[in-house]
């Protein structure tokens, strides 16, 4: 039966006799134009930006403007706390960043100071390496000014990584600016899924001038501006409307009033975690733990939490261990 005869039936011009299969089809389907069914919108793709800020003393952060940090706090979870160090573990960057990136404490990853002696990264790899092994389709990026992260294997399997070239004398205040500029360009223009960025200037300034003076305030304000630029780069992505981003900001230790760390004073042990993204409630906590960063990344990506992680996600649903 031709389309023409069916169309005539729809307009009431079909013969009165010989009610045919065509008319039965018309009655069943209805007359009139065929409606266009819109396909369902694509499911937003989860992505995570982790910003590590070295040597930021928690009690000094909110004495500055902290415009962009405060904005993230208003959207998500802000937790303060103190390092809980086992005997023999120092309040240094080596143990702290190992804990942040591996999701396990020094008793497992083996790093107790900045020599990185005893490291167990083969057994407890960083979360980027774990993601690459579980989901090779993910695009992972890592940038740090501390080459030791790569030289020791703390950051091992990453799609794209960068650090400063050895032997080049960069002006101290320009180091963070260089990697922020590079990362904002990469985030704005390229496909990325999980990003880790490590900023060091607050720690450098605190070592030189202490955390109580105007130099440290300037360093914190500059860090805050850099965080704002990174978040803005995320929101300027052409594909942003089809993505759901989570942002995590974490520091590794504090500083004594005169500058320096490694001991057990309350000022040296200060840490904070900030997380904003889908499923993370707006709240304030006082039990920040560095092991919570890695499981939060997995949870925000909707991935099963590795069984050997020692932390828990900062809000959101727990995909399972």
Average pLDDT over residues 147-166: 89
Residue 305, SS3? coil
The answer as to whether 314 is a domain residue is no
* Distance in angstroms (rounded) separating the CA atoms of residues 154 and 242: 32
The answer as to whether 246 is a domain residue is yes
The model's pLDDT over 5-15, given as tens digits with 9 standing for 90+, comes to 333 333 444 44
pLDDT of residue 114: 97
CA distances from 208 to 33, 172, 201, 242 (A): 76, 11, 11, 44
pLDDT of residue 42: 73
Place 163 in a pLDDT band, splitting at 50, 70 and 90.
confident
pLDDT of residue 238: 94
Instruction: Tell me how many domains the chain contains.
Output: 2
Helix (H) or strand (E) holding 174: helix 172-189
Indicate if 121 and 11 belong to the same structural domain: no
* Distance in angstroms (rounded) separating the CA atoms of residues 193 and 320: 21
Place 38 in a pLDDT band, splitting at 50, 70 and 90.
low
pLDDT of residue 302: 96
pLDDT at 103 over 70: yes
Q: What is the CATH number of the domain that holds 259?
A: 3.40.720.10
The answer as to whether 305 is a domain residue is no
The model's pLDDT over 227-245, given as tens digits with 9 standing for 90+, comes to 999 999 999 999 999 999 9
Average pLDDT over residues 24-35: 46
pLDDT of residue 111: 98
Lowest-confidence region among 50-64, 94-108, 173-187, 290-304: 173-187
The answer as to whether 313 is a domain residue is no
The answer as to whether 315 is a domain residue is no
- Give the domain extent around 19: 1-37
Indicate if 277 and 136 belong to the same structural domain: yes
The answer as to whether 321 is a domain residue is no
pLDDT at 135 over 70: yes
Average pLDDT over residues 181-203: 93
Nearest to 120 by CA among 130, 133, 111, 129: 111
């Amino acid at each position: 039966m031709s389309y023409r005869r069916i169309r005539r039936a729809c307009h009431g011009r079909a013969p009165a006799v010989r009610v045919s299969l065509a008319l039965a089809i018309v009655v069943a389907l209805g007359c009139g134009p065929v409606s266009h069914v819109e396909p369902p919108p694509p499911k937003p793709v989860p992505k995570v930006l982790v910003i590590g800020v070295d040597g930021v003393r928690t009690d000094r952060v909110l004495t500055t403007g902290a415009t962009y940090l405060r904005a993230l706090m208003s959207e998500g979870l802000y937790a303060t706390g103190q390092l809980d160090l086992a005997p023999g573990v120092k309040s240094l960057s080596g143990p702290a960043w190992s804990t942040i990136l591996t999701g396990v404490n020094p008793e497992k990853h083996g790093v107790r100071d900045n020599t990185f002696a005893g490291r167990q990264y083969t057994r407890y790899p960083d979360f980027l390496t774990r993601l690459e092994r579980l989901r090779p389709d993910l695009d992972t990026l890592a940038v740090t000014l501390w080459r030791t992260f790569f030289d020791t294997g703390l950051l091992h399997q990453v799609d794209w990584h960068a650090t400063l070239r050895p032997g080049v004398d960069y002006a101290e205040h320009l180091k963070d600016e260089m990697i922020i500029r590079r990362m904002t360009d990469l985030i704005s223009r390229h496909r990325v899924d999980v990003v880790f960025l490590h900023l060091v200037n607050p720690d450098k300034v605190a070592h030189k001038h202490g955390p109580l003076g105007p130099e440290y305030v300037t360093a914190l304000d500059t860090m805050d501006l850099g965080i704002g630029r990174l978040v803005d780069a995320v929101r300027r992505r052409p594909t942003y409307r089809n993505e759901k981003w989570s942002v995590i900001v974490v520091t590794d230790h504090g500083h004594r009033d005169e500058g320096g760390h490694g001991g057990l004073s309350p000022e040296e042990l200060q840490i904070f975690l900030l997380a904003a993204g889908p499923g993370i409630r707006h709240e304030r906590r006082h039990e920040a733990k560095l092991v919570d960063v890695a499981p939060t990344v997995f949870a925000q990506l909707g991935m099963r939490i590795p069984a050997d992680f020692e932390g828990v996600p900062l809000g959101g649903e727990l995909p399972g261990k």
